[in-house]
Protein backbone atom coordinates (compact mmCIF):
# COMPACT_ATOMS: atom_id res chain seq x y z
CA UNK A 1 0.00 0.00 0.00
CA UNK A 2 1.56 3.27 -1.06
CA UNK A 3 1.66 6.34 1.11
CA UNK A 4 -0.85 8.14 -1.10
CA UNK A 5 -3.53 5.48 -0.79
CA UNK A 6 -2.94 5.31 2.95
CA UNK A 7 -3.35 9.07 3.18
CA UNK A 8 -6.52 8.99 1.13
CA UNK A 9 -7.93 6.12 3.17
CA UNK A 10 -7.15 7.88 6.44
CA UNK A 11 -8.72 11.12 5.25
CA UNK A 12 -11.78 9.34 3.92
CA UNK A 13 -12.24 7.37 7.15
CA UNK A 14 -11.93 10.33 9.46
CA UNK A 15 -13.99 12.49 7.15
CA UNK A 16 -16.66 9.83 6.94
CA UNK A 17 -16.66 9.38 10.70
CA UNK A 18 -16.99 13.10 11.19
CA UNK A 19 -19.76 13.31 8.61
CA UNK A 20 -21.78 10.48 10.17
CA UNK A 21 -21.39 11.88 13.68
CA UNK A 22 -22.19 15.37 12.43
CA UNK A 23 -25.39 14.22 10.76
CA UNK A 24 -26.37 12.31 13.89
CA UNK A 25 -25.75 15.36 16.05
CA UNK A 26 -27.79 17.57 13.73
CA UNK A 27 -30.64 15.08 13.91
CA UNK A 28 -30.30 14.93 17.70
CA UNK A 29 -30.33 18.70 18.01
CA UNK A 30 -33.56 18.75 15.96
CA UNK A 31 -35.19 16.06 18.12
CA UNK A 32 -34.06 17.55 21.42
CA UNK A 33 -34.60 21.16 20.47
CA UNK A 34 -35.49 23.39 23.41
CA UNK A 35 -37.84 26.24 22.61
CA UNK A 36 -36.56 29.44 24.17
CA UNK A 37 -38.80 32.41 24.54
CA UNK A 38 -37.16 35.61 23.18
CA UNK A 39 -38.77 37.50 26.07
CA UNK A 40 -36.55 35.56 28.50
CA UNK A 41 -33.44 37.02 26.90
CA UNK A 42 -34.85 40.53 27.19
CA UNK A 43 -35.65 40.05 30.87
CA UNK A 44 -32.15 38.70 31.54
CA UNK A 45 -30.78 41.89 29.99
CA UNK A 46 -32.48 44.17 32.51
CA UNK A 47 -31.70 42.01 35.57
CA UNK A 48 -28.68 43.02 37.69
CA UNK A 49 -26.76 39.83 36.88
CA UNK A 50 -25.52 39.32 40.43
CA UNK A 51 -26.71 35.68 40.44
CA UNK A 52 -27.07 35.93 44.23
CA UNK A 53 -30.11 33.65 44.40
CA UNK A 54 -32.04 36.03 46.64
CA UNK A 55 -35.13 35.57 44.45
CA UNK A 56 -35.20 31.90 45.43
CA UNK A 57 -34.21 30.61 41.97
CA UNK A 58 -30.89 29.28 40.70
CA UNK A 59 -29.75 32.59 39.18
CA UNK A 60 -30.79 35.56 37.10
CA UNK A 61 -31.40 33.47 33.96
CA UNK A 62 -33.56 31.03 35.91
CA UNK A 63 -35.55 33.86 37.48
CA UNK A 64 -36.12 35.42 34.05
CA UNK A 65 -37.45 32.11 32.75
CA UNK A 66 -39.83 31.72 35.69
CA UNK A 67 -41.08 35.27 35.36
CA UNK A 68 -41.88 34.85 31.68
CA UNK A 69 -43.24 31.33 31.73
CA UNK A 70 -44.48 30.50 35.22
CA UNK A 71 -45.80 33.87 36.40
CA UNK A 72 -43.25 34.40 39.15
CA UNK A 73 -43.73 37.82 40.77
CA UNK A 74 -42.34 40.67 38.68
CA UNK A 75 -40.78 42.32 41.72
CA UNK A 76 -39.23 39.00 42.78
CA UNK A 77 -35.72 40.38 42.35
CA UNK A 78 -34.90 42.25 45.57
CA UNK A 79 -31.55 43.39 44.24
CA UNK A 80 -32.92 45.19 41.21
CA UNK A 81 -35.76 46.61 43.27
CA UNK A 82 -38.57 48.67 41.84
CA UNK A 83 -36.62 49.96 38.83
CA UNK A 84 -36.00 46.45 37.54
CA UNK A 85 -39.54 45.37 38.29
CA UNK A 86 -40.80 48.29 36.23
CA UNK A 87 -38.56 47.35 33.31
CA UNK A 88 -39.66 43.71 33.45
CA UNK A 89 -43.25 44.94 33.56
CA UNK A 90 -42.55 47.03 30.46
CA UNK A 91 -41.23 44.01 28.57
CA UNK A 92 -44.16 41.81 29.55
CA UNK A 93 -46.76 44.58 29.26
CA UNK A 94 -47.82 44.53 32.90
CA UNK A 95 -48.06 47.26 35.51
CA UNK A 96 -46.07 47.09 38.73
CA UNK A 97 -46.70 48.96 41.93
CA UNK A 98 -43.84 49.82 44.23
CA UNK A 99 -43.34 47.90 47.45
CA UNK A 100 -41.35 49.48 50.24
CA UNK A 101 -37.76 48.29 50.48
CA UNK A 102 -36.69 46.27 53.48
CA UNK A 103 -33.28 46.27 55.13
CA UNK A 104 -31.67 43.80 57.52
CA UNK A 105 -32.04 45.04 61.05
CA UNK A 106 -29.98 43.84 64.02
CA UNK A 107 -32.00 42.71 67.03
CA UNK A 108 -29.07 42.93 69.43
CA UNK A 109 -27.23 45.84 70.95
CA UNK A 110 -24.94 43.72 73.12
CA UNK A 111 -21.57 43.84 71.42
CA UNK A 112 -19.00 45.12 73.86
CA UNK A 113 -21.76 45.79 76.42
CA UNK A 114 -22.25 42.05 76.78
CA UNK A 115 -19.68 40.19 78.90
CA UNK A 116 -17.51 37.38 77.52
CA UNK A 117 -17.42 34.06 79.33
CA UNK A 118 -14.01 33.11 77.96
CA UNK A 119 -11.42 34.26 75.45
CA UNK A 120 -12.06 32.73 72.05
CA UNK A 121 -9.06 31.97 69.86
CA UNK A 122 -9.96 30.39 66.55
CA UNK A 123 -11.36 31.09 63.12
CA UNK A 124 -13.30 34.31 62.83
CA UNK A 125 -16.70 32.85 62.12
CA UNK A 126 -19.92 33.11 64.12
CA UNK A 127 -20.91 29.52 63.40
CA UNK A 128 -17.52 28.28 64.63
CA UNK A 129 -17.82 30.39 67.77
CA UNK A 130 -21.29 29.05 68.52
CA UNK A 131 -20.12 25.46 68.00
CA UNK A 132 -17.82 26.02 70.98
CA UNK A 133 -20.26 25.73 73.95
CA UNK A 134 -22.80 28.20 72.50
CA UNK A 135 -20.31 30.99 71.99
CA UNK A 136 -18.05 33.16 74.08
CA UNK A 137 -20.77 35.68 74.89
CA UNK A 138 -22.59 35.51 78.19
CA UNK A 139 -25.83 35.75 76.20
CA UNK A 140 -26.71 32.78 74.01
CA UNK A 141 -29.13 34.75 71.82
CA UNK A 142 -27.12 37.76 70.74
CA UNK A 143 -24.80 38.78 67.97
CA UNK A 144 -21.39 37.11 68.05
CA UNK A 145 -19.80 39.87 65.98
CA UNK A 146 -17.48 37.52 64.09
CA UNK A 147 -18.60 38.66 60.66
CA UNK A 148 -20.42 35.70 59.12
CA UNK A 149 -22.97 38.17 57.73
CA UNK A 150 -20.15 40.38 56.41
CA UNK A 151 -18.76 37.52 54.38
CA UNK A 152 -22.24 36.41 53.24
CA UNK A 153 -22.97 39.85 51.75
CA UNK A 154 -22.12 39.92 48.02
CA UNK A 155 -22.42 43.72 47.93
CA UNK A 156 -20.01 44.65 50.78
CA UNK A 157 -22.81 46.47 52.58
CA UNK A 158 -22.01 45.21 56.10
CA UNK A 159 -19.05 46.13 58.29
CA UNK A 160 -18.26 45.21 61.87
CA UNK A 161 -17.92 48.39 63.94
CA UNK A 162 -15.82 49.13 67.02
CA UNK A 163 -18.67 47.92 69.25
CA UNK A 164 -18.36 44.47 67.59
CA UNK A 165 -21.78 44.78 66.00
CA UNK A 166 -22.49 44.66 62.26
CA UNK A 167 -23.42 47.91 60.61
CA UNK A 168 -25.58 47.83 57.48
CA UNK A 169 -24.90 50.46 54.85
CA UNK A 170 -28.32 51.15 53.34
CA UNK A 171 -26.90 52.70 50.19
CA UNK A 172 -25.09 49.49 49.31
CA UNK A 173 -27.67 47.03 50.67
CA UNK A 174 -29.78 45.34 47.99
CA UNK A 175 -32.16 43.53 50.37
CA UNK A 176 -31.15 40.12 49.10
CA UNK A 177 -31.40 38.57 52.59
CA UNK A 178 -28.29 36.41 52.28
CA UNK A 179 -26.90 37.83 55.56
CA UNK A 180 -30.14 37.00 57.34
CA UNK A 181 -29.90 33.45 56.08
CA UNK A 182 -26.23 33.15 57.03
CA UNK A 183 -26.60 34.44 60.59
CA UNK A 184 -26.48 31.42 62.90
CA UNK A 185 -28.24 33.15 65.80
CA UNK A 186 -31.07 34.74 63.77
CA UNK A 187 -30.39 38.20 65.18
CA UNK A 188 -30.83 39.84 61.79
CA UNK A 189 -34.33 40.37 60.41
CA UNK A 190 -35.98 42.43 57.71
CA UNK A 191 -37.49 45.76 58.73
CA UNK A 192 -38.99 48.55 56.66
CA UNK A 193 -37.81 52.13 56.98
CA UNK A 194 -41.31 53.20 58.00
CA UNK A 195 -41.17 50.89 60.99
CA UNK A 196 -39.60 53.27 63.47
CA UNK A 197 -39.58 51.51 66.84
CA UNK A 198 -37.61 48.32 67.42
CA UNK A 199 -36.65 46.12 70.35
CA UNK A 200 -32.87 45.81 70.26
CA UNK A 201 -32.69 42.42 71.94
CA UNK A 202 -33.20 38.77 71.07
CA UNK A 203 -32.78 37.20 74.53
CA UNK A 204 -35.49 34.92 75.89
CA UNK A 205 -33.65 34.49 79.19
CA UNK A 206 -35.22 35.61 82.47
CA UNK A 207 -34.52 39.17 83.61
CA UNK A 208 -31.95 38.23 86.22
CA UNK A 209 -29.90 36.15 83.81
CA UNK A 210 -29.98 38.94 81.21
CA UNK A 211 -28.91 41.58 83.73
CA UNK A 212 -25.96 39.45 84.81
CA UNK A 213 -24.41 39.40 81.36
CA UNK A 214 -25.72 42.35 79.33
CA UNK A 215 -26.08 46.04 80.14
CA UNK A 216 -28.91 46.71 77.76
CA UNK A 217 -30.80 43.45 77.22
CA UNK A 218 -34.57 43.09 77.55
CA UNK A 219 -35.47 41.76 81.01
CA UNK A 220 -39.14 41.18 80.27
CA UNK A 221 -40.34 43.68 82.92
CA UNK A 222 -43.48 44.53 80.87
CA UNK A 223 -43.18 48.27 81.58
CA UNK A 224 -43.34 48.95 77.85
CA UNK A 225 -46.36 46.70 77.46
CA UNK A 226 -48.27 48.50 80.24
CA UNK A 227 -47.40 51.97 78.97
CA UNK A 228 -48.12 51.50 75.29
CA UNK A 229 -51.30 53.46 74.43
CA UNK A 230 -51.86 51.49 71.23
CA UNK A 231 -51.54 48.03 72.81
CA UNK A 232 -48.84 47.27 70.26
CA UNK A 233 -46.25 45.63 72.54
CA UNK A 234 -46.47 42.09 73.85
CA UNK A 235 -43.91 40.48 76.12
CA UNK A 236 -43.64 36.80 75.32
CA UNK A 237 -41.00 34.58 76.90
CA UNK A 238 -39.29 37.54 78.62
CA UNK A 239 -38.83 39.46 75.37
CA UNK A 240 -40.85 42.44 74.18
CA UNK A 241 -42.19 42.31 70.65
CA UNK A 242 -43.68 45.20 68.74
CA UNK A 243 -46.64 44.80 66.43
CA UNK A 244 -45.54 47.17 63.67
CA UNK A 245 -49.06 47.47 62.25
CA UNK A 246 -50.36 48.99 65.50
CA UNK A 247 -47.28 51.03 66.44
CA UNK A 248 -47.66 54.79 65.90
CA UNK A 249 -44.09 55.64 66.92
CA UNK A 250 -45.26 57.78 69.88
CA UNK A 251 -42.01 57.00 71.69
CA UNK A 252 -43.49 56.35 75.16
CA UNK A 253 -41.98 52.85 75.39
CA UNK A 254 -38.59 54.19 74.35
CA UNK A 255 -38.66 56.63 77.26
CA UNK A 256 -40.03 54.21 79.82
CA UNK A 257 -37.79 51.20 79.13
CA UNK A 258 -35.45 50.86 82.13
CA UNK A 259 -32.89 48.94 80.08
CA UNK A 260 -32.90 51.36 77.11
CA UNK A 261 -33.28 48.42 74.76
CA UNK A 262 -36.13 49.89 72.68
CA UNK A 263 -34.89 52.25 70.03
CA UNK A 264 -36.52 54.79 67.78
CA UNK A 265 -34.80 55.70 64.56
Measured from the CB atom, the residue of 5 and 194 that comes closer to another protein is 5
Residues that bind another protein (CB under 8 A): 1, 9-10, 13-14, 17-18, 21, 24-25, 28-29, 31-34, 58-59, 62, 122-123, 128
Measured from the CB atom, the residue of 24 and 212 that comes closer to another protein is 24
CA–CA distance, 203 with 152 (Å, rounded to integer): 24
Q: Closest approach of Cβ 10 to another protein, in Å?
A: 6
Q: Closest approach of Cβ 66 to another protein, in Å?
A: 12
Measured from the CB atom, the residue of 76 and 89 that comes closer to another protein is 76
Measured from the CB atom, the residue of 139 and 150 that comes closer to another protein is 150
Which run of H or E residues covers position 20?
helix 3-31
Q: Closest approach of Cβ 128 to another protein, in Å?
A: 7
What SS3 class is residue 175? coil
Q: Closest approach of Cβ 129 to another protein, in Å?
A: 12
Q: At what angle do helices 81-92 and 38-46 cross, to 10 degrees?
A: 160
Measured from the CB atom, the residue of 85 and 129 that comes closer to another protein is 129
Q: Closest approach of Cβ 149 to another protein, in Å?
A: 18
CA dihedral 219, 225, 227, 230 (to 10 degrees): 150
**Is residue 179 marked as binding?**
yes
In order of 2, 18, 34, the CA distances from 24 in angstroms are: 33, 10, 17
**Is residue 153 marked as binding?**
yes
192 forms beta bridges with: 102
**Is residue 55 marked as binding?**
yes
Q: At what angle do helices 60-70 and 81-92 cross, to 10 degrees?
A: 40
**Is residue 183 marked as binding?**
yes
Is the distance from CB of 239 to CB of 164 less than 8 angstroms?
Answer: no
**Is residue 52 marked as binding?**
yes
Q: 151 burial class (0-12, 13-18, 19+ CB within 10 angstroms)? A: middle
Measured from the CB atom, the residue of 21 and 264 that comes closer to another protein is 21
**Is residue 261 marked as binding?**
no
Measured from the CB atom, the residue of 30 and 208 that comes closer to another protein is 30
Q: Closest approach of Cβ 87 to another protein, in Å?
A: 24
| Residue closest to 82 by CA, chosen among 102, 67, 62 | 102
Q: Closest approach of Cβ 219 to another protein, in Å?
A: 35
**Is residue 126 marked as binding?**
no
Q: Please, what is the Cα angle at 91 between 88 and 93, to 5 degrees? A: 100
CA–CA distance, 31 with 20 (Å, rounded to integer): 17
What SS3 class is residue 167? strand
Annotated binding site for [4Fe-4S] cluster: 52, 55, 60, 77, 139, 143, 149, 153, 173, 176, 179, 183
Annotated binding site: 52, 55, 60, 77, 139, 143, 149, 153, 173, 176, 179, 183
Amino acid sequence: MSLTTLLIQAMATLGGLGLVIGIMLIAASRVFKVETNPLVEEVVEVLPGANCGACGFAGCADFAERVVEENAPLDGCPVGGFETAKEIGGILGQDVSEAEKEYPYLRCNGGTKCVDRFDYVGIEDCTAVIMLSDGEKGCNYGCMGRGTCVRACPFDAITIGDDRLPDVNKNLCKSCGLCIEACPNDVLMFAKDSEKVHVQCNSHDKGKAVKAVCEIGCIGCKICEKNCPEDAIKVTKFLAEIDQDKCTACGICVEKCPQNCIEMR
